Amino acid sequence: MDVLSDVVSAARTGRPHSGRVTKPAPFAERFAAVPAAGFHIVLQGTCWLLPPQGQPIALGPGDVAFLPRGSAHSLADTPSTPVSGPPAPLTAVHDGPGDGRPPSVVMLCGAYLLDGSGPHPLLNDLPEIIHLPTRVGRHRELRAAVELLGAELDGGDRPGSDTVLLTLLDLLLLYILRAWFEQEHLSGHAVTGWAAALHDPAVAAALRAIHEDPARPWTVGELGARARLSRAAFARRFTQLVGRPPLTYLTWWRMTTAARLLRTCDAPVDTIARQVGYSSQYTFTHAFKRQYGSPPGSYRHRPAPPGP
């Protein structure tokens, strides 16, 4: 099982939102913080992303701005354009007035709803804003997904468009995250945390083993053998990069997997317990409640989180 795909599957909930947006100058729009991962991709023209703190970020054709935790921000044609009006959710991005003025920017914008009850540390490790500037020969898969998504949004209600859009949005999210981790790995500066863990052969091998078979009664020694390290050396390296000892991460991932199953299927609790490695429903319930604050049955019947 691919770790990054697994993390995205566990974090995502509901349907993603997207739209093609055209803005004539001048414009400035404020967006509220939401429990979602948002994105803005410039297709034509230029604009600026204005975070609440920090320097404005210039966005040009092909640039991707990704907000992993849905942080509040603004978009404007220039940093000096006044921002007025109440903040809107990312799903309320709308076109400028149709008064014949030429657009200053054409974008793809959207958001992925996230389950905030147990965010994966990989996502927490990301910066508030990821800027992926376009570069010749870099992130070709991401550029191809952007082009396909733009074409599909332009195509209207063609047969199969709903499924195509959902698939392309899933691909887009994975390609954005992959591009970021690759960019960090190739940056030349010291890389730590999950950006380093996914590119560390020993830790990545242990993570793959856990994600491939979370129900297996792994020991630190067995995971160390997968990593081709001694037990002590493996435990140190894993804890340093992942932020949790190996068996602590294993338990956490088992509960995260169980939470996803409780949200997405009708299997009995004891069946889900066995799927994640617990022969005793009592032990499973105790571990789940410790992580999520409620027993599995109550968690399953929680109302779905609101959309962004």
Q: What CATH number does residue 170 fall under?
A: 2.60.120.280
Q: Quick one: pLDDT at residue 1?
A: 53
307 pLDDT tier (thresholds 50, 70, 90): very low
Task: Name the residue range of residue 91's domain.
Answer: 3-185
Q: Quick one: pLDDT at residue 18?
A: 85
* Residue 162: alpha-carbon gap to chain centroid: 21
Say if residue 273 is in the same domain as residue 149.
no
96 pLDDT tier (thresholds 50, 70, 90): low
Q: Are the C-beta atoms of residues 224 and 235 closer than 8 Å to each other?
A: yes
Residue 151 lies in a domain: yes
Q: Quick one: pLDDT at residue 308?
A: 45
Q: Quick one: pLDDT at residue 186?
A: 73
Residue where one domain finishes, among candidates 185, 219, 236: 185
Q: What is the DSSP string of 242-289?
A: HSS-HHHHHHHHHHHHHHHHHHH----HHHHHHHTT-S-HHHHHHHHH
Residue where one domain finishes, among candidates 185, 216, 235: 185
Residue 130 lies in a domain: yes
Residue where one domain finishes, among candidates 154, 185, 216: 185
The strand ranges marked E within the chain are 17-24, 28-31, 36-45, 47-50, 57-59, 64-67, 73-76, 103-113, 130-132
> Which of 12-16, 78-82, 268-272 has the lowest average pLDDT?
12-16
Rounded to an integer, the average pLDDT of 152-161 is: 81
| pLDDT above 70: residue 236 | yes
Say if residue 33 is in the same domain as residue 178.
yes
Tell me the whole-structure pTM to 2 decimals. 0.85
Q: Whole-angstrom Cα distance, residue 22 to residue 267?
A: 45
Q: Whole-angstrom Cα distance, residue 300 to residue 289?
A: 12
| pLDDT above 80: residue 213 | yes
Say if residue 36 is in the same domain as residue 64.
yes
**Domains in the chain: how many in total?**
2
Residue 193 lies in a domain: no
Residue 190 lies in a domain: no
Say if residue 153 is in the same domain as residue 222.
no
What the block records as the tokens of 52 is 């609440």
| pLDDT above 80: residue 3 | yes
Query: What whole-number percentage of the chain has pLDDT above 90?
Result: 53
